[in-house]
Structure 1
Amino acid sequence: MNNPPITLAITGASGAIYGLRLLECLLGAGVPVYLMVSEAGRLVLKMEHDLSLPARSSDMAATLARRFGAHDGQLTVFGAKAWSAPVASGSGAPRQMVICPCTTGTLGRIAAGTSEALIERAADVVLKERGQLIAVPRETPLSEIHLENMLRLTRMGAVMLPANPAFYHRPTAMNELVDFVVARVLDRLGLDQSLIPPWGQDSLAGE
């Protein structure tokens, strides 16, 4: 695997399916992944998908690697307080990180520079090293606080990519709505994807 690793964080917002599908796509593309799942994220995965992930990082990695057919060593999971993890320092952290889905609480802590757990610290590192941080908020309605935090992070160079699926591709199943959002994330990461064709390159182009 010659691809550089990508950091993926799954937090406790509804829409855990976006994070799972993104993880599946990254692993399927042969990308090494550093994964963090918050405690609330594990709860939402259980509530929304009946997926019970072990609390121990190595066991979680093994469970998800089997589920998605990852190569040996392709997926590494870090706990909330694993401060010696590569993602905690600019000297070892990947240049790209996605928080999918991203709670507004996580957004607020990142915007304020308050690293209560490894997810916020990893995001802080990506920002300070001028890397690529993509957040996929899943919340509605949005308060002024949420919008201000999004604006603040955008001005720092982060990308706000809300989980807002489109309908021009005429989806007929939920997985197609999920894939639309995941495809947009993969596009921003610069990775080839065949989930949703670019605008103008599908059957709608001549209509």
Structure 2
Amino acid sequence: MDRRRIIVGISGASGAVYGVRALETLRALDVETHLVVSKAGALTLEHELGMKVADVRALADRHYAIGDVGAACSSGSFRTLGMIVAPCSMKTLAEIATGVSSTLLTRSADVVLKERRRLVLLVRETPLTRVHLTNMLAVTDMGGIVAPPVPAFYTHPASIGDMVDHTVGRVLDLFDLDTSLVKRWSGMRTSGQQEEPE
């Protein structure tokens, strides 16, 4: 590979902003992106962000139709760093966990797992049923990483954008891609280090 590549999948769960922000950040890092958006993902993008699929596709280096199972990213011989599904619906999780590849999105995830590459799923649902948890465990057992987009309040975020950026930055950490998005934890001051009041 001349350039580093990552596949980005956007499914229909709430949280389309995570996929969009991942694409923007990967572009800034000069990482080649290959995008697959599900039909429900297209609806969520428009509802939550007012974005058309064409707007999001413009952020990626390559994009594919959800039914294009002959696309480059459907083959293990197409080398990538791995794949991010942001957000990841429970339907998408279930297909990945059971090896069902009804779309290019889930086929790409299956390929990433079989090639022992990094797969990170930003699963979005609450509360969770036993089926959801079982599927998360199955994906984890196969080497995938389940990374729900849980906000980190220790960073004292000032906006939703801050919370999104921190999550995206932490996800890209998993690919050894360092961004300026993460407010790194440096430890709490112990009582012995606190200044005495005057």
TM-score by length of 2: 0.90
- C-alpha separation in 2, matches of 1:102 and 1:8: 11
Partner of 1:200: 186
Partner of 1:41: 41
- C-alpha separation in 1, matches of 2:27 and 2:11: 19
Matched, 1:13 2:21: no
Q: Shift of residue 13 of structure 1?
A: 0.5
Secondary structure of residue in 2 paired with 1:172: coil
Secondary structure of residue in 1 paired with 2:83: strand
Q: Identify which of 144, 149, 153 aligns with 2:139.
A: 153
Partner of 1:111: 97
Secondary structure of residue in 2 paired with 1:30: coil
- C-alpha separation in 1, matches of 2:158 and 2:125: 23
Q: Shift of residue 196 of structure 1?
A: 1.5
Q: Shift of residue 197 of structure 1?
A: 2.8
Alignment of 1:1-207 (within 5 A): 2-54=2-54, 61=57, 64-65=58-59, 75-200=61-186
Contact 2:151–2:163 (CA under 8 A) maintained in structure 1: yes
Secondary structure of residue in 1 paired with 2:168: helix
- C-alpha separation in 1, matches of 2:116 and 2:186: 32
Partner of 1:71: none
Tell me the percent identity. 41
One-letter amino acid of the structure 2 residue matched with residue 40 of structure 1: A
Runs of 4+ off more than 2 Å? 204-207
Secondary structure of residue in 2 paired with 1:189: coil
Q: Shift of residue 189 of structure 1?
A: 1.1
- C-alpha separation in 2, matches of 1:22 and 1:153: 21
- C-alpha separation in 1, matches of 2:56 and 2:152: 32
- C-alpha separation in 2, matches of 1:19 and 1:95: 17
- C-alpha separation in 2, matches of 1:119 and 1:52: 18
Name which one, 1 or 2, has greater alpha-carbon Rg.
2
Secondary structure of residue in 1 paired with 2:140: helix
- C-alpha separation in 1, matches of 2:89 and 2:30: 28
Contact 2:20–2:56 (CA under 8 A) maintained in structure 1: no
- C-alpha separation in 1, matches of 2:44 and 2:79: 27
- C-alpha separation in 1, matches of 2:75 and 2:172: 24
Contact 2:8–2:85 (CA under 8 A) maintained in structure 1: yes
Name stretches of at least 5 consecutive residues in structure 1 with no aligned partner: 66-73
Name stretches of at least 5 consecutive residues in structure 2 with no aligned partner: none
